[in-house]
Amino acid sequence: MTAPQTEEAYRRLRRLILSLELRPGEPLVERRLEELLAVSRTPIRAAIQQLFREGLVERKGRVYTVAPIDLAELEEAFEFRSWLEAHVVRVAAARPPKHRDLKELLAAVDADLDPEVELEKATDFHLALARLTGNRFVVASLAQVLQRIYRARYLEITRPQGANQAHLDHAALLELVQQGKGEEAAALIERHLERSRQALLESLEGTRLGSILLGNP
């Protein structure tokens, strides 16, 4: 179980990275973070290690810095995610979900004004859908890839119309799964992910914010 101070340091440090208060390439100096987060070095070190595993932080020699978004990794992650989630919905549609499972999935589709909470709910939705396959390795694989592209997904959820489109797609996807229409559900999630991928690439390659996230001066 994660200690409360470590969890708090992790959440606050992740928010600073996502909000670009700490920009790609910026070194994570423990003494400065102690003052900024008002916690000791031990939870800060644990938080940095967690963010390193998630790809938000990288190590250069002995120094940890905020990692830029890696476009090649992002492309690979979207490709893998598309393959995996198309399989997920096909299997889930072939195994009619229980009423309780459907209720939990629908709750995850509800809107929220806070982008980070919104993204957590979207993550819950996709993982709950994966759990309907009954395969723990599928769930673990999806959780890992979603975490690796967290920052890109955060950018998508804050894009105008991004969250609204995600809600519409999630609701439609759930209905298709409930009706046992696996192939239609797979086609929908592939379109959903391709639309997100294209929007992200446009944001990253054509805006000042994108330039910052890619680590360009």
Q: Is the pLDDT of residue 1 over 50?
A: no
d(CA 142, CA 125): 12
In this structure, are 76 and 158 located in the same domain? yes
CA angle (9, 11, 12) in 5-degree steps:
65
In this structure, are 46 and 108 located in the same domain? no
- Cβ atoms 94, 177 nearer than 8 A: no
pTM: 0.80
In this structure, are 34 and 125 located in the same domain? no
Which domain range does residue 104 map to? 71-213
In this structure, are 16 and 47 located in the same domain? yes
Per-residue pLDDT, averaged over 8-28, amounts to: 87
Chain segment 142-196, per-residue pLDDT in tens: 999 998 888 888 777 776 666 777 778 888 888 898 889 999 999 999 998 998 8
Structure confidence at residue 135 (pLDDT): 93
In this structure, are 78 and 13 located in the same domain? no
